[in-house]
């Protein structure tokens, strides 16, 4: 696993080729992470996969995270793995919520994009909640404004189902995904269940005696 | 909630024009025209004409097909008997476990995650508990680590036995099923002895295990693994000389090692294709670096190799269990950090601090500093990773499982397109998907 200085080197090298792609690094609890601009996902992952000396060729997992009520709200995490050295690296694309009301309070620390702030010796734990702001793109789907992230299916075919799962649960649109449909929830489901402001429960259970009080449930 | 998928999906496939161009045949192309000429040769004097619409048939396998090992639906496009396209439809047993975990305190999440992949509950527990231990920086005592490995390896045998029995049943070998379930019951008996439950034991706690093993447990496990050793030899003899089993598994469902890595496939499937990738060796978590075992690999990557790899893995697990029984270290079985681990029951009546700690832990739980951890382990089906995000409260902000069955299922299309539909059953059985894990 690259340590904190190693991450800074990776940050500098990627930003030399793709300016502004990597926003920050974090090394916390022996877990290395790059925090990146969501529009540069493909560039960063291609660089990490193909650059000699990096070669993170295996994508273990793709998952979403919701930092509600903090901003930027969403994150898509790519757990990369170098199988020769057994090194894991998490790439976090942080995405603001395009559907949020403009009055939302931002708690992002003003100096959090300062690269020198991450210091493994100081014992300061980089909080996942303090992430730099990015300008995310958005799209409108069925009257709802949803964040857009480029799909990495062409680069890592394993991301197919996992991106569908993130889309299903968080309402993040993966641009360029060959078959972006809901995967675990029913196709006619409304809402994004893993968002933190989505309530638990509330799904009406249909019995024969409820049929009258649940009009139109069969549609 | 009523589903409209059936009609939607079929229409979509037709519109997309996916029919007939998705797959290529590996051995010989069997087309409708070949079929008609062959029929004409065999039955002379009779004209055969097949409508173009009859050439492609879209079939739903499942969700209630007995060979899908749960409620998995496969939308299969068939040309004659050859699979041309395959799309898995999942989510029938989605229960929102990950969402429910966010409403529970850290220690109350454990029974939830156990029930995801219902054949590898010890592994689910270890993935989650290990992630939380990394989050709070808690050291697990050595005896607890060994006890965890002991139960996980017994669990691996249990999981592979269920797989072997049901897969052999799919291929028509009825007897193996009963023998496997007999032996599986013996493994469950050992779980019952040490944890009180046969399945979903909630044995792993944050910081260690719930209780030390009882007196007589060692003899029980030793007796069980002796029976297992004979048993595994018997199944091998039953299947390895079974002509039908061999014909149906050999050279069927082969996907290259590179393609499997691209698709994120891990576990016995990848090892059968010749890649010695095992997180127990690479990651070196818990007591595995101290234990000696081999990683079995296959050569071709067909169904037969997958069967051999899993069978050999059971033998390796027995080897690990024997080493643990011989060298189980003495000491505490749960961490002595009262902020995270419950105090012993006997202390509650004498120590005020213990009572306070007990009360705090049970009512509020413990708080975890903000942060996130991804903890991968080697489950019977591959890399089982647990991602836990903490936000400073006593409940996790996100629990996500990278389920090996879920990721491995993507390889099913590559394995089956171009093969016969009868081989689809075999390939699916050798894939070993657990729908509880896929749908969560």
User: Chain A closest CA to B262's CA: distance in Å?
Assistant: 6
CA distances from A189 to A64, A184, A186, B1, B170 (A): 19, 10, 5, 9, 34
Judged by CB atoms closer than 8 Å, whether chains meet at B99 and A193 is answered as yes
Least confident of A123-127, B395-399, B415-419: A123-127
Q: Which of A116, A153, A71 is nearest to B262 (CA)?
A: A153
Which residue of chain B is at minimal alpha-carbon distance from A79?
Answer: B374
Query: Is the minimum CB–CB distance between A163 and chain B shorter than 8 Å?
Result: no
Q: Which of B260, B433, B435, B94 is nearest to A158 (CA)?
A: B260
Q: Would you tell me the crossing angle of helices B303-327 and B142-170 to the nearest 10 degrees?
A: 150
Hey, is the C-beta of A29 within 8 angstroms of any chain B C-beta? yes
Q: Residue A118: count other Cβ atoms within 10 Å of its Cβ.
A: 20
Residues B42-92: pLDDT tens digits? Answer: 777 777 666 555 578 888 887 887 777 778 888 998 888 888 889 999 988
CA–CA gap between residue A156 and residue A164 (Å, rounded): 14
Ordered strands of the A173-175 beta sheet? A137-141, A144-150, A173-175
Residue A161: CB atoms within 10 Å: 24
d(CA A138, CA A97): 9
* Cβ under 8 Å to B: A residues 190-209: 193-194, 196, 198, 200, 206
The alpha helices in chain A, defined as continuous H runs, are 4-17, 41-50, 159-170
In tens, the pLDDT along B91-114 reads 888 888 998 899 989 989 999 999
Q: Which of A1, A29, A131 to mutate to test the interface with B (most CBs of B within 10 A)?
A: A29
Q: What are phi and psi of A155, to 5 degrees?
A: -80, -45
How far CA B363 is from CA of B105, B138, B342, B388, in Å, comes to 9, 21, 12, 21
Residue pointed to by tokens 């972006």: A180
Q: Give the one of A157, A165, A189 whose C-beta lies nearest to B262's C-beta.
A: A157
Rounded distance between C-alpha atoms, residue A83 and residue A95, angstroms: 29
Q: Looking at the partner chain, which of B98, B391, B406 has a beta carbon nearest the beta carbon of A194?
A: B98
Residues in Cβ contact with A16 at an 8 Å cutoff, skipping those fewer than 6 apart: none
Chain A segment 89-128 residues within 8 A of B by beta carbon are 90, 125, 127-128
Please give the torsion angle defined by the CA atoms of residues A28, A34, A35 and A40, in that order, rounded to the nearest 10 degrees: -170
3-state DSSP assignment of residue B319: helix
Taking an 8 Å cut-off on Cβ atoms, the answer to whether A157 and B373 are in contact is no
| Residues B435 and B92: beta-carbon distance below 8 Å | yes
Q: Does A185 sit within 8 Å of B91, measured CB to CB?
A: yes
Enumerate residue ranges in chain A where pLDDT < 70: 1, 100-136, 202-205, 211-219
Q: Which of left, alpha, beta for B387 (phi over 0: left; psi -120 to 50: alpha)?
A: beta
| Predicted pLDDT of residue A19 | 83
CB nearest A79 (choices: B91, B134, B385): B385
- Higher-confidence residue: A202 or B249? B249
pLDDT in tens, B38-47: 777 777 777 7
Interface with A, mutate which of B400, B404, B408, B412 (most A CBs under 10 A): B400
Residue given tokens 């990848």 in the structure block: B270
Q: Residues of A with CB below 8 A from B265's CB?
A: 158
For A60, which of B103, B369, B383 is closest by C-beta distance? B383
Å between B64 CA and nearest CA of chain A: 17
Question: A93 φ, ψ to 5°?
Answer: -95, 115
Residue B440 to residue A184, Cβ atoms within 8 A: yes
Q: Please count the other Cβ atoms lying within 10 Å of the Cβ belonging to residue B55.
A: 17
A147 CA: distance to closest CA in chain B (Å) = 19
What pLDDT, on the 0 to 100 scale, is given for residue A132?
55
Residue of A nearest to B382 (CA): A60
Instruction: Enter the pTM of the model.
Output: 0.82
CA of A123: how far to CAs of A23, A129, B139, B369, in Å? 21, 17, 19, 13
The mean-pLDDT minimum among A20-24, A181-185, B230-234, B304-308 falls in A20-24
A90 Cα to chain B: minimum distance (Å): 9
| Helical pair B142-170 and B174-195, crossing angle rounded to 10 deg | 160
Is A85 an interface residue toward B (CB < 8 Å)?
A: no
């Amino acid at each position: 696993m690259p340590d904190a200085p190693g991450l800074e080197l990776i940050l500098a090298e990627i930003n030399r080729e793709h300016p502004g792609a990597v926003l920050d690094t974090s090394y916390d609890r022996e877990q290395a992470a790059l925090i990146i601009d969501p529009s540069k996902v493909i560039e960063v992952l291609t660089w990490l996969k193909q650059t000699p000396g990096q070669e993170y060729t295996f994508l273990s997992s793709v998952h979403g995270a919701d930092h509600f009520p903090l901003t930027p709200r969403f994150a898509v995490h790519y757990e990369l793995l170098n199988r020769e050295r057994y090194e894991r690296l998490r790439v976090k694309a942080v995405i603001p919520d395009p559907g949020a009301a403009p009055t939302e309070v931002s708690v992002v620390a003003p100096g959090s994009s300062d690269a020198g702030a991450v210091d493994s010796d100081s014992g300061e734990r980089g909080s996942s909640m303090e992430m730099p702001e990015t300008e995310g793109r958005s799209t409108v789907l069925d009257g709802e404004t949803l964040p857009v992230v480029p799909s990495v299916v062409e680069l890592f075919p394993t991301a197919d189902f996992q991106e569908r799962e993130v889309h299903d649960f968080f309402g993040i649109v993966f641009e360029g995904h060959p078959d972006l449909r809901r995967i675990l929830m029913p196709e006619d489901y409304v809402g994004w269940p893993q968002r933190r402001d989505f309530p638990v429960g509330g799904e009406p259970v249909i019995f024969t005696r409820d049929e009258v009080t649940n009009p139109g449930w069969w549609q | 909630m009523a589903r409209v998928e059936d009609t939607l999906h079929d229409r979509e496939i037709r519109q997309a024009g996916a029919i007939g161009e998705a797959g290529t045949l590996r051995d010989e192309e069997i087309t409708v025209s070949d079929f008609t000429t062959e029929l004409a040769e065999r039955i002379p004097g009779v004209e055969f004409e097949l409508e173009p619409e009859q050439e492609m048939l879209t079939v739903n396998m499942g969700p209630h097909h007995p060979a899908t090992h749960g409620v998995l639906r496969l939308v299969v496009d068939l040309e004659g008997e050859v699979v041309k396209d395959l799309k898995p439809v999942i989510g029938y047993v989605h229960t929102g476990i990950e969402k429910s975990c966010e409403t529970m305190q850290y220690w109350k999440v454990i029974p939830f995650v156990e029930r995801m992949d219902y054949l590898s509950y010890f592994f689910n527990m270890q993935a989650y508990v290990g992630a939380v231990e990394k989050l709070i920086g808690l050291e697990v005592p050595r005896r607890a680590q060994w006890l965890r490995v002991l139960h996980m390896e017994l669990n691996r045998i249990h999981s592979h036995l269920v797989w072997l029995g049901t897969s052999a049943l799919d291929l028509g070998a009825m007897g193996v099923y009963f023998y496997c379930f007999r032996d599986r019951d013996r493994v469950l008996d050992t779980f019952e002895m040490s944890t009180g439950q046969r399945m979903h034991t909630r044995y792993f706690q944050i910081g260690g295990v719930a209780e030390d093993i009882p007196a007589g447990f060692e003899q029980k496990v030793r007796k069980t693994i002796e029976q297992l050793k004979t048993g595994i030899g018997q199944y091998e003899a039953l299947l390895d000389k079974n002509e039908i089993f061999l014909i149906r598994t050999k050279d069927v469902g082969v996907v290259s090692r590179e393609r499997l890595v691209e698709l994120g496939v891990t576990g016995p499937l990848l090892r059968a294709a010749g890649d010695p990738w095992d997180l127990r060796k690479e990651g070196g978590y818990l007591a595995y670096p101290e234990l000696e075992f081999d990683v079995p690999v296959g050569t071709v990557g067909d169904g037969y190799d997958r069967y051999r790899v899993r069978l050999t893995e059971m033998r390796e697990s027995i080897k690990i269990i024997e080493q643990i029984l011989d060298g189980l270290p003495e000491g505490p079985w749960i961490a002595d950090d009262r902020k995270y681990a419950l105090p012993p029951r006997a202390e509650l009546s004498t120590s005020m601090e213990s009572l306070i700690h007990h009360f705090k832990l049970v009512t509020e739980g413990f708080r975890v500093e903000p942060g996130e951890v991804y903890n991968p382990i080697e489950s019977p089906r591959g890399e089982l990773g647990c991602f836990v995000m903490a936000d400073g409260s006593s409940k996790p902000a996100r629990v996500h499982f990278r389920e090996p069955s879920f990721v491995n299922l993507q390889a099913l299309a590559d394995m089956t397109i171009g093969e016969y539909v009868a081989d689809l059953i075999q390939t699916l059985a050798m894939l070993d998907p657990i729908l509880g894990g896929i749908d969560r």
